[in-house]
Amino acid sequence: QVQLVQSGAEVKKPGASVKVSCKASGYTFTGYYMHWVRQAPGQGLEWMGWINPNSGGTNYAQKFQGRVTMTRDTSISTAYMELSRLRSDDTAVYYCARDDGHYDSSGYYAHSSFFWGQGTLVTVSS
C-alpha cells in the first residue's frame, strides 16, 4: 500500500535551516509529483510547492521563493524540503503529499488530489 513516512520533529533557532524528508513506498516514486503543504498551529493548510521526482523540476509558491528548496533522491524514493532563514512564524507541521494526477498523452501532468504523509512538526524558537 502507498505510504509516505516523514522524518521526526525538529527544533531550530531563528535564522537556521531545516530539511524534512519524506520516504515513499508502495508505488513508483518517479510517476507522481510530490507537494509540500504546511499548517501553522491552529491555522489552515498552506501550499508551498511541488517537485517532479522524475525530472527534479520544481514549482514554488511565491511566498517561499528564495527560501525553500525541494529535492529528491530517486535511489531511495525520498523527497526533501529544505526551508532556510527560519523565523518564528515558520513554526508549523509540514506535510508531504503525493499528487494522484497522471501524465496525459501529450506528456502534460494533470494535477489531482493529495495523499498525505503523517506530518513533521518544525518548531522555531530562540
| Residue with smaller CB distance to other proteins, 29 or 95 | 95
Helix or strand or coil: residue 23? strand
Residue number, 35 or 72, with CB nearest to other proteins? 35
Q: How far is the CB of 106 from other proteins (least distance, A)?
A: 15
Name the residue nearer to other proteins (CB basis): 89 or 126: 89
Q: CA-CA distance, 106 to 101, in Å (whole number)?
A: 14
Nearer Cβ to other proteins, position 113 or 126?
113
Residues that bind other proteins (CB under 8 A): 35, 37, 44-47, 59, 61, 95, 100, 111-119
DSSP 106: T
Least separation, in Å, of the C-beta of 52 and other proteins? 12
Whether the Cβ atoms of residue 18 and residue 30 lie closer than 8 Å to each other: no
Measured between alpha carbons, how far is 45 from 108 in angstroms, rounded to an integer? 26
The distance of closest approach from Cβ of residue 99 to other proteins in the complex, given in angstroms and rounded to an integer, is: 9
CB of 67 to other proteins, least distance (A): 16
Segment holding 38, helix H or strand E? strand 34-39
Q: How far apart are CA 124 and CA 41, in angstroms?
A: 12
